[in-house]
Amino acid sequence: MVASTALAAALAGCTGSMEIDSGPSSPPPDPQPAAVAQLPGSASTLVTGDEAVPLALTASRELFTVAQAVLLAPAGDEPAIARAASLAVALGAPVLLTGEDNPGVGEELLRLSATTLLPVGEVDLTGLDLTSMNVQPVPAETSAAGDLLGIDVTDAPAGSGADVHSLADLARGAVVSGPAGVADPSGHMPALLTGEPVEGIQLLADGAPEQLAAVGTARAAGATVTVLEGDPRASAAELADVGETEAIVGLGTSFGDPETFQWQAETALSGTQLPGGGQLAFESARYVGLYGSPHTEVLGALGEQGTSETIDRAAQLATAYQAHTEDVVVPTLEIIVTVATVAAGGDGNYSQEWPAEGFVPLVEAAAESGQYVVLDFQPGRATFLEQVQQYAELLAYPHVGIALDPEWRITDDELPGERIGSVSAAEVNDVISYVADYVREQRLPQKIVMIHQFRTSMVTDRSELVTSRPEVEIVIHADGFGTPEQKQDTWQSVRAGAPAGIHWGWKVFYDEDDPRMNSAEVMAVEPMPEFVSYQ
């Protein structure tokens, strides 16, 4: 009591003036990021659901660690979702959908440690714990929405943001029109910084409308979004410049199983393309080229000149065919790397295997000139797989495929040339599996696996050929010689009863074909050949 009286007397006796601050005793806290993004838990993630609410929840769980502010929109209200998603991108915060799985939304808000809800449209907050929660409905006017969130936003172009494609390309900070939030406001809007995104996330979405909120969340997290459907390799050209990739997320039901999505997406994002463009061998591409060996001119036209002249000659052949198709005609070199011989050789297989390194200059010259290469095998008594495996270092080149020549596949009691050789479908399938597995493991574009055939007996049990491996394309090359009529007979005979999924090749012989068909005549063959070689 004495102390209080003394304090009062001291104040009363002051002759100077004193201002007493009636405001807070400490400065307001510094603004914090609206949300903090993260890389997904796995290098490759495939989300295959087709319902909007769980897709939005999954995107938030995968891509954000915390979020002070969360955009909300009612499930099923596409204009509200599009607006909320665009605001989420501008603010850098996730967007969730209410009305169908509010318990799941509540759990996610708790995980995110959210303190501010930003409803857009007629959001249903039933069942959500709003204790100590700021609820700030977003105004319909873009400038007012920007003032509320403390960010610079502009009106998006008319019609933008209504679908996944538009949202994926929408400029950050552009907000689409839509309804205002109508929830009852509570609390106050804190000062926020835009969220902290991460780099290196590539989101591939197949564009289903249910993905709109999830795509908004992904973009808010910093992801680059590409809309495509099915095999990502078909969009390799589009994905070539997306930048460094730390994690890939697939969104949709058209990408197959997670393992398939991973290798196809990683291949597509590698940036590697075939000489004809893209990563699928016969996607708007056909092949025309020279057959033979650079080691000798007696095996075909490819060996009749030096490396640079061979490249030029193949290019001229392709140009002659380009006038007859809208597809890209790719100059091609079909190089004999093993040749059947009358002598057993050191390994006793009646086939000479030239060292793989000896073909590197020609293979690399082809790559520099935008040409495809096919390695041709004449195995004698060896199996095709044994020989193909010896040239794995050449298969590592993206523009290199293989061809099997059953004419020169003989049994252990035969010699080359005694009869027309043959191979079982099972042996060919071993090669197909080997090459396909190699392509998948190395994340390479599709490779061509070609089988030469001018008699039905050359491939036994042909109906059992595996043509379903997406890593390779199978070509049967009808390489009989003679008059045009004889070649047509061979063509029809070889094609009869072939399994589905086969591409077809045609051979022109400079000397043995009489008269020799020109490019227009070859391209008039039905169906039009997809691979033409000259010997």
Residue 10 pLDDT: 35
Q: Report pLDDT digits (tens) over 410-427.
A: 999 899 988 999 999 999
Confidence at residue 159, expressed as pLDDT on a 0 to 100 scale = 78
Distance CA 13, CA 32 (A): 46
pLDDT of residue 12: 37
Q: What is the mean pLDDT of residues 53-65?
A: 97
Cβ-based burial of 420 (10 A; exposed 0-12, middle 13-18, buried ≥19):
middle
Task: Report phi then psi at 31, rounded to 5.
Answer: -60, 145
In 3-state terms, the chain is what percent helix, strand and coil (to 5)? 35, 20, 45
pLDDT at 9: 36
Please state, for a pLDDT cut of 90, what percent of the chain lies above it: 89
pLDDT in tens, 488-507: 999 999 999 999 999 999 99
Q: Cβ(413)–Cβ(421) under 8 Å?
A: no
CA distances (Å), origin 257, targets 101, 137, 206, 279, 439: 26, 40, 14, 20, 18
* Predicted local distance difference test score (pLDDT) of residue 474: 98
Task: State yes or no: pLDDT of 535 exceeds 90.
Answer: yes
Whether 382 has a pLDDT exceeding 60, the answer reads yes
pLDDT at 27: 67
Residue 5, pLDDT above cutoff 80 = no
Mean pLDDT over 28-33 rounds to: 83
> What is the pLDDT, as a whole number, of residue 480?
85
pLDDT for position 100:
79
Structure-token match 């000149």, residue found = 305
Q: Is 443:266 a contact under the CB 8 Å cutoff?
A: yes
Q: Which are the contacts of 392, defined by CB distance < 8 A and separation ≥ 6?
A: 438
Confidence label for 257 from pLDDT (cuts 50, 70 and 90)? very high
Q: Give pLDDT, residue 25.
A: 55
Phi, psi of 53 (to 5 degrees): -65, -55
Instruction: Compute the distance between CA of residue 453 and CA of residue 388 in angstroms, rounded to an integer.
Output: 18
Q: Supply the DSSP string of 81-102, one letter for each residue.
A: HHHHHHHHHHHT--EEEESS-H
pLDDT digits (tens, 9 = 90+) for 82-108: 999 999 999 999 999 999 789 999 999
Amino acid at 517: M
Q: pLDDT class for 206, splitting at 50, 70, 90?
A: very high
What is the reported pLDDT for 196?
94
**Is 71's pLDDT higher than 50?**
yes
Residue 17 has pLDDT above 90, yes or no: no
What is the pTM for the complete model shown?
0.89
Question: Tokens in use for 422?
Answer: 């043959």
Name the residue ranges covered by the structural domains of the chain. Answer: 32-268, 332-534
What is the structure's pLDDT at 28?
66
pLDDT digits (tens, 9 = 90+) for 430-475: 999 999 999 999 999 999 999 999 999 999 999 999 999 999 999 9
| Interstrand relation of 35-37 and 64-67 (parallel, antiparallel or unpaired) | antiparallel
Give the C-alpha separation, 123 to 120, whole Å. Answer: 7
List the CATH code of the domain at 332-534: 3.20.20
